[in-house]
Structure 1
Amino acid sequence: MSSTPTGTRRRPPIERGDRIPDFTAPAADGETVSTRRYYLRRILALVFTHRWPCAACQDYLRAIAERIEAIRAEAGEVVAVLPLGPEVALGNLATLPFPVALADDVEIHERYGLAASDGRPLAGVVIADRTGTVYEVDLADEAHRLLDPEEIRGWLEFVSYECSECWVDRAQAPRGR
């Protein structure tokens, strides 16, 4: 896990072995995003951003978009979760090649333990298997570093070969940074 961001969390972040909290939210393309729709069919990478618009988060989502074919080749899907700020400038989010859930506050972030005590949403990546079981949680550090998109692909590949019932030693899982 990355170093802890500045600010105290309201509750501990979701951890390995936890089930992801389900959510349904409006999407940037006008549809609806539901975690159950994805994790029952594919391995899921949930990408939580800081309050939108955040330039570093926008760059990160674009970098993931460039790797989406390789990510999907590993039976994976990316779902971005954006807590909207008071000045909403969505730009071309609807053109991203993966679902983008639009949250009007930090409620979804809070359910995952990704909200600071002052109410700021924290950026992070949560990798879950087809049953919604968490395999990895990576929080952005002070420099706004998150898993490289290739590391996301690596995690999805790793999880695709795992037996979720066996829970083999996670020490051999791909590690970044």
Structure 2
Amino acid sequence: MREQYNEYIAKFKEKTPQEMQDKMGKAITELENSEDGKGLRVGDKAPDFTLPDATGKEVKLSDILDKGPVILTFYRGGWCPYCNMELRAYQQLMEDIKAAGAELVAVSPQTPDASLSTKEKNELDYFVLSDEGNKVADEFKLVYKLPPYLVDIYKEKGLDLEKANDSDSWTLPVSATYIIQQDGTIAYEYTKADYKDRVEPSEVIEKLKAL
């Protein structure tokens, strides 16, 4: 996944005006220096939640935990190329995740319809849930508000988050990945303000196997 990221970032830098790159970098730095989006930590109890999957079926975290540990990943949306690369990387490792007795749950603020598009586009064979309004992400302390200048950039690039999330709040979850044990305790977390900085899915699975 990291190689794919590096290739995409290189192409992005080639075709994106420096002023726009500077503003996007500024937004990341501001988020890193704020108190927003820091996330829950190892040893914290993961809040239980019930969210609809891509077909509208209600899925409850505790019901999944009854069967084994859970890898829980929060992503920004199907419009985010880094998210799609990450989601596809996890799909390639689903046999390893199942062999470890675990399930994978991916959560974004998208509507179920938008989540269905993400699931179908990336051919995902795991839980893809819709957290409209970022209510669950907020319980995990991951939510932040995009600064106005970044909202302008997103609109300029044709990213219609208001439609994808059915919300005009322009809030997103920080990209975060957790391993949650069956008792609800967070055994591993990787949370970064920079959406380009994500843990390799293979590393998460190694952590899972070591539990």
Normalising TM by the smaller chain, what interval?
Answer: 0.7 to 0.9
- 1:23 and 2:85 aligned: no
* Cα distance, 1:140 vs structure 2: 3.3
Q: How far does the alpha carbon of each residue in 1:57-100 deviate from its partner, in whole angstroms, 9 at most, with x for none?
A: 01100110000101111111110001127x94742415411101
Q: Hey, what does 2:198 align to over in structure 1?
A: 146
2:84 maps to 1:58: yes
TM (norm. structure 2) is: 0.66
1:137 aligns with 2:158: no
Q: Sequence identity, in percent?
A: 23
Q: For the residues of structure 2 that align with 1:53 and 1:46, how far apart are their CA atoms?
A: 20
Closer/same/farther in 2, CA of residues 28 and 4 from structure 1, 3 Å limit: farther
CA pair 40-8 structure 1, distance change in 2 beyond 3 A = farther
Gapped regions of structure 1 (runs ≥ 5):
160-177
Q: Residue 43 of structure 1 is aligned with which of 45, 69, 72?
A: 69
Pick one of 108, 119, 123 that aligns with 1:93.
119
Larger helix share, 1 or 2:
2
**Gap change, CA 1:143 and 1:107, over 3 Å in 2:** closer
**Unmatched tracts of structure 2, length 5 or more:** 1-28, 147-170
User: Letter of the aligned partner of 1:122 in structure 2?
Assistant: V
Q: Which has the larger radius of gyration?
A: 2
Query: Aligned to 2:85, what secondary structure does the other structure show?
Result: helix
Contact persistence 1:84–1:103 (CA under 8 A)? yes
Structure 1 pair 17/57, CA: closer, same or farther in 2 (3 Å)? same
Alpha-carbon offset, residue 52 of structure 1: 4.4
SS at match of 2:106: strand
- Higher RCO (C-alpha 8 Å, min separation 6): 1
1:113 corresponds to which letter in structure 2? K
Structure 1 residue 142: Cα displacement: 2.2
Contact 2:36 2:141 in 1 (8 A): yes
Q: What residue number does 1:167 align with?
A: none
TM-score (norm: length of structure 1): 0.77
Residue of structure 2 in register with 1:33 after alignment: 59
The change in CA–CA distance for 1:37 and 1:4 in structure 2 (over 3 A counts) is farther
CA RMSD in angstroms comes to 2.6
- The size of the alignment, in residue pairs, is 156
Using the TM superposition, give the Cα deviation of residue 53 of structure 1 relative to its aligned residue in structure 2, in angstroms. 2.4
